[in-house]
Amino acid sequence: MFWTHRFETLKGGLEGLGYEVSDKGDRRRDVWDVAGWWSFIPFIGILFGMNAIVAGLASHTWRGTARAAVGVAGIVFNALLLVLVL
């Protein structure tokens, strides 16, 4: 699985070679997975972490639980960073 800006061109070329190509992925899920890791951005990452926790737990999947765990880890990282700076 990968991303491209010229999907139709790529799809046509691969199908011409006999490959089956699908674009039935949930792109929103991929964005939320990345948002969990944004919780490690110093100071503002706390907001991303809270977002990742809520969205992850609301999804009711193992992947959502992992996303929430990454959000918690990012918040803990930011809390420790704040303690060290202050």
Residue 5 covered by a domain: no
Domain count, the chain: 1
Q: Which residue range(s) make up the domain with 48?
A: 26-85
pLDDT, one tens digit per residue, over 21-65 is 877 655 555 555 677 788 999 988 899 999 989 988 988 888 888
Classify 39 as helix, strand or coil: helix
Using the CB atoms, write b or e for 51-86: b if 16+ within 10 Å: bbbebbeeeeeeebeebbebbbbbbebbeeeeeeee
pLDDT of residue 76: 94
- Tell me the pTM: 0.61
Residue 12 covered by a domain: no
Residue 31 covered by a domain: yes
Residue 13 covered by a domain: no
Residue 17 covered by a domain: no
pLDDT of residue 74: 93
